[in-house]
């Protein structure tokens, strides 16, 4: 039953964000930029009795994954205005995968592995 509750609440947040973004780019962006899904994920983990160390590790990995995703937010708006949505989506996805791989290699150099 708890899983169903998690699915509906989390999906509801995504729907709410998209509806707000349709009406206001600024507020939609603000809400989407908040780590709401991460916050809900750690809340679900906490209420399910997951160990605090596991939750802390989850948050650390979030930090390490945020860095390679940031350039996508700069590149996507430029590409979509010049070449359209699908080109921007595909190019941003390729960029994201490449940056995650690159950052994983950089992190490995310092003794930390994403994968």
Q: Please, what is the Cα angle at 92 between 88 and 96, to 5 degrees? A: 175
- Tell me the three state secondary structure of residue 18: helix
75-106 confidence digits (pLDDT tens): 999 999 999 999 999 999 999 999 999 999 99
Q: Which two tokens stand for residue 76?
A: 């996507």
Question: What span, in angstroms and rounded, lies between the C-alpha atoms of 61 and 54?
Answer: 11
> In the predicted model, is pLDDT for residue 38 greater than 90?
no
Q: In whole angstroms, what is the distance from residue 34 CA to residue 103 CA?
A: 23
- pLDDT for the residue numbered 10: 84
Q: In whole numbers, what is the pLDDT of the chain averaged over residues?
A: 91
Span 32-38, mean pLDDT?
A: 82
- Going from N- to C-terminal start, the domains of the chain cover 1-50, 69-115
Residue 5 has a CB neighbour count (10 Å cut-off) of 10
- Of residues 4 and 32, more confidently modeled: 4
Does the global pTM surpass 0.85? no
Structure tokens, 1: 């039953």
């Amino acid at each position: 039953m708890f899983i169903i509750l998690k699915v509906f609440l989390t999906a509801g947040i995504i729907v709410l964000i998209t509806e707000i973004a349709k009406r206001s780019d600024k507020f939609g962006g603000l809400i989407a930029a908040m780590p709401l899904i991460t916050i809900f994920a750690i809340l679900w983990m906490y209420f399910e009795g997951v160990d605090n160390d596991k939750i802390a590790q989850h948050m650390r990995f979030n930090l390490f994954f945020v860095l390679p995703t940031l350039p996508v937010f700069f590149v996507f708006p430029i590409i979509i205005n010049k070449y359209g949505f699908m080109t921007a989506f595909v190019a941003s996805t390729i960029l994201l995968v490449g940056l995650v791989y690159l950052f994983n290699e950089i992190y490995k150099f310092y003794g930390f592995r994403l994968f």
